[in-house]
Structure 1
Amino acid sequence: MIRRAVFSKMKAAAKERADCGVKEVYSEALVTCEGEMRPHYASEDIGASLPTYRSIQASLYRARASIRPPLPQSRTEIIIAGEWDRTLGNDPFLLFDDGAENRIIGSSTEEMVKILCGVPSVFRDGTFRVVPHLFLQLYTLHGLYKGEMIPFAYFLLPDKTKETYRRMFVLLKNRANAVGATLSPSLFQVDFEVAVLKAIEDEFPLANRKGCHFHFAQSIWRKVQQLGLAPHYAEPGVKRLVRSCTALGLVPLDRIEDAWLEIDAESPSAEHPAHEKLDAFKQYFIETWLENDAIFPRDLWNHYRNFGARTTNHIEGWHQGSNRIVRKSHVNLFEMIKHLQKQEAKYSVKILMLDMGQAPEKVKKKYEDLDRKLIRLVD
C-alpha cells in the first residue's frame, strides 16, 4: 500500500512539474513522500517501499508524456492548442504563431502587452541553452515597471537574422494595436548584435538605442583572446591598454578623441614582443568602435553620466534563473511553454503587488557598489 501511494505521488509530480527534469522531480518527491509517511509508518517499512530512480524512471516519463501532445519533429508540425495556448489562469497566452518552417511563436497576455507599451525603455536579450531543439533562441522583452524589471513577452525564434527580428517586432506591434496600445518605446537597451540593431532602427526609427556596457567590455575581451593577447594581459602596459579602451565607455563623448590619443601614446612600443598583435587590437578598436563610420557609433556604447541601467545583466540574471529552474539543455517545446506559463503567473502576481504599493525588490549590493564606483570614476 505504501509503495502504491508513493508511485501515485511521484507520477502526479511528474505531470505537475513539466518544466523540471524527471530525475529532479523524483528526488524531491522522494523526500516529500518520506516526510509525509514518517508519522504513520515504521522507518523500515518506509525504506523498503521507496522505489529507486531506475525502477520508476520509465513510469515517470510515461506519466509526463501522457499529459502533452506528441512532440513535433519539425517546426511545421507544431500545434499549440488547449492548455498550451492559455496561461495558468486560463487567459489567452499565445500572442502569435507565424510562419511554417521559419516559425515564430510569441507568448504574452493582453495585459502584459499593454503594460509593455507603457514603459519608456525596453530591454531585450536572447538565450540559447534551454531553448527547444526546433528553435535557435528564446528572445525576451523586459521593462522597468514601478522600479522592478519585468519580463513582458517571450518569443521562440528560428534564427538570429535581421529579417526574423523585424518580423517579430512587426507582429508584436500589430498585436499591440489590436488591443488598443502602441509599442513605441523611447529607448531600447541592447547588446551589440548588428541584426537586432538594424531591425530596431527600421521598425522604431524614433527610438534611441543604447548598448550594454558589460557586452561592450566582453566584446573587447573576446578580441583580446582571438588575437592571442590574453597571455600578455598580466603585463602592466597591455592591461592598461585593454582597460583604458573599456573605460572609454564612461568618458564624456567630447573627450573620447583626446582620451584615445592618450591611450595610444601610452600603449606598449614597437619593441614589445607582441607589438603586431597590439597593433591589430588597436586597429580593431578604431574600426569597430571609434571611427565616425565604425560598426558601432560612439553614442551607442558610451554611458557617461548614465547611472541608470548600463547593462542588461539583470536580464541575463533572469535567463540564468530560468536555466537553474529548467536545469537541462534544450527542453522540449511543451516543457518550455509550461515554464513560460509559470513565469507569466509569477510576474502577474508581482505586478499586482507593485500596484498595491509594495516596494520593488532591493537592488543587489554589488550593483549599488558598482554605481558608486562609476560615479567616482567619471567625476
Structure 2
Amino acid sequence: MCNEIQFENSKLIHNCAKDSEQKINRQILSNNLKRKALEQLSERPAKLFHDEMKKCNVSTLTSSDVTYIKNNMNHARNSIHPKLLQDANEIHNILSSIEIKTFKGENFLMVNDPLNGFVMFSCDENIIFLSSLTTIYVDGTFDYCVQYFCQLFTIHGFKNNYYIPLAFFLLRDKSQVSYKRAFVELQNQCLKSVEVFEPKMCFVDFEKSIHNALLEVWPQIEIKGCIFHLCQSWWRKIQKIGLATEYSKNDEIGKYLTYIFGFPFLHPEEVGDVFAIDLGELKPENDKLTEFSDYLVDNYIDEDSSFPPKIWAEMTSSAQRSTNACESFHSKYNSNFSSTHPHIYKFLDVLKAMQLDTVILINSSKMETKIIRTATKNKNKFINNLIDKLNMNEISKLQYLKALANKFKPRN
C-alpha cells in the first residue's frame, strides 16, 4: 500500500510540475506580447501573436491559454486608448487638444474643421514637395476609417516613377462639396508654404463628384480616368446584363464584347467613329448587346456623356494610367487595422508611421528614377509595337483593338 501511495504522490508531483511549467510559459508569453502590443502600436495583435509563436515553446499551450494571452494583449492596447467616442465632435476635440507631429517634429494636423466634419493631415515638407509637381493621383478608402467619418481620401504626387502619398483627409461623405473643400484646403496650405498650386493633370476614379470638384478649383486641369477601373465597370455591366457567358465565347457576340476593351488605347477623337462604323458593322442582333452598347454611348462614348473619351482614351503605352498605386497605399494602410472603425489614436499611430514611408519616397524621387519592372517594360513594348504597326498600316483598327483587348481584358 505504501508503494501505491508513493506512486500516486509521484504522479501528483509530476502533474503539478507540468501545470507549473504551462502557467510559467503562458505568463512569459503573455507578458512579452503585452509589452509588444504597447511598443508596436501600428502592428496588428494577430501578427504580433503569430510572430511570437514562431520563437517560443508551444508544446504546453492550450486554446484557453491562447484566449487568455490575446485578451491580455487587447486589454493592454485599450488601457492607453480612451473608450469609444460618442460623436464626431469628440474626435475633433481630441485632435484640438493633442500635439500631432511627424517623426521629424513637423506639425501633421493642418486643418481640423468640426463644423464641416473635415480633417486634413500633411506637413510642410509634403506640401512644398507637392507644390513642385504637375501630376496628382487621388483615391479614397472606405473599408477602414475613423468612426463618424466616411473615408480617408488621399492625394498622391508622381515624380520619377515614384507615387508618393502627400496629403490625407478625413471626409464625412462622398459629396462634391467635401471633395472641393479638400482641394481648396490643399491649395490654401500650398499658398502658406510656397505659392499657388496648379496641377495640370489628375488621375482619378470614375466618380463625377470628384471630377466636378477638381474643375471647380482648377478649371484648366486635365482629368484622366483610371483605365483599370474603367474596364472593371464595363465588365460588371456585362455581368449585370447577363452577357458573361457570351463574353467568354469565341462567337460573334463574344468577339464584339472583346473589342470594346481595346478602346482605351485609341485616340479620343476617333473613339466615336470606330465604335459606330468599324465595330458597328460587326454588331450582332441581340437585345442585351444593344442594351450594353447604349450604356457605353450614354456614359462613355458620346462627347456629352458623363465620362467622354478624352477622359479615358489615349494611344499610348504609358504605365501611369491607373490609380492602382493609390490603392496599394490604402491596402497597406488597411492592413494595420482589425476593426473597420479604428479609434482615432490608433488611426494617428498608423498614419504617422506611414508618413515615414512618404519621407523616404520623397528622398528617393529626388535622387533617382525608379526602375520600371520587367513585366511593365514588356507590356509597354507590346503596346508600342501595335501602335507602330497601326500607324504604318500593317494592321487594321479592328486587329489593333483585338490584340490589345485580348491582352488586357478582364478574365471571367
Give, as a single letter, the amino acid of the residue that structure 1 aligns with 2:265: L
Of 313-322 and 141-150, deviating more is: 313-322
Of 49-58 and 247-256, deviating more is: 49-58
Q: 3-state DSSP class of the match of 2:167?
A: strand
- Measure, in 2, the Cα distance between the counterparts of 1:129 and 1:22: 19
Q: Pick from 243, 248, 262: which aligns with 2:278?
A: 262
Counterpart residue number, 1:209: 223
Counterpart residue number, 2:34: 11
Q: Does 1:68 align with 2:81?
A: yes
Instruction: Tell me: CA distance 1:323–1:183, structure 2 relative to 1, closer, same or farther (3 Å).
Output: same
Q: 3-state DSSP class of the match of 2:261?
A: helix
Instruction: Tell me: CA distance 1:361–1:28, structure 2 relative to 1, closer, same or farther (3 Å).
Output: farther
Residues 237-275 of structure 1 deviation map (CA, whole Å, 9 limit, x = unaligned): 22322232221221123432331111121022x2xxxx1
Give, as a single letter, the amino acid of the residue that structure 2 aligns with 1:56: I
Identity of paired residues, percent?
25
Q: Pick from 239, 251, 258: which aligns with 1:225?
A: 239
Q: 3-state DSSP class of the match of 1:80?
A: helix
Counterpart residue number, 1:298: 309
Counterpart contact for 1:241–1:263, Cα < 8 Å? yes
| Structure 1 unaligned residues grouped into runs of 5+ | 35-42
Q: Shift in Å at residue 192 of structure 1?
A: 0.8
Counterpart contact for 1:20–1:327, Cα < 8 Å? no
| Structure 2 unaligned residues grouped into runs of 5+ | 1-23, 389-412
Q: Shift in Å at residue 353 of structure 1?
A: 4.2
Q: 3-state DSSP class of the match of 1:58?
A: helix
Of 301-310 and 185-194, deviating more is: 301-310
Q: 3-state DSSP class of the match of 1:140?
A: strand
Instruction: Tell me: CA distance 1:360–1:49, structure 2 relative to 1, closer, same or farther (3 Å).
Output: farther
- Measure, in 1, the Cα distance between the counterparts of 2:86 and 2:333: 24
Q: Pick from 314, 333, 356: which aligns with 1:345?
A: 356
Q: Shift in Å at residue 153 of structure 1?
A: 1.1
- Measure, in 2, the Cα distance between the counterparts of 1:80 and 1:241: 55
Residues 305-362 of structure 1 deviation map (CA, whole Å, 9 limit, x = unaligned): 352511112222222233334465443332222111111012213323444x3x4543
- Measure, in 2, the Cα distance between the counterparts of 1:231 and 1:360: 44
Counterpart contact for 1:123–1:141, Cα < 8 Å? yes
Work out which of the two has the higher radius of gyration on C-alpha atoms and give 1 or 2.
2
Q: 3-state DSSP class of the match of 1:52?
A: helix
Q: Shift in Å at residue 143 of structure 1?
A: 1.1
Q: Pick from 110, 121, 124: which aligns with 2:124?
A: 110
Counterpart contact for 1:26–1:53, Cα < 8 Å? no
Query: How many residue pairs are counted as aligned between the two chains?
Result: 361
Q: Shift in Å at residue 185 of structure 1?
A: 0.6
- Measure, in 1, the Cα distance between the counterparts of 2:258 and 2:344: 42
- Measure, in 2, the Cα distance between the counterparts of 1:293 and 1:2: 70
Counterpart contact for 2:269–2:309, Cα < 8 Å? no
Give, as a single letter, the amino acid of the residue that structure 1 aligns with 2:375: K
Q: Does 1:52 align with 2:65?
A: yes
| TM-score, normalization by structure 1 | 0.86
Of 10-19 and 46-55, deviating more is: 46-55
Q: Does 1:20 align with 2:43?
A: yes
Residues 64-85 of structure 1 deviation map (CA, whole Å, 9 limit, x = unaligned): 1222243323212212257662
Instruction: Tell me: CA distance 1:324–1:368, structure 2 relative to 1, closer, same or farther (3 Å).
Output: farther
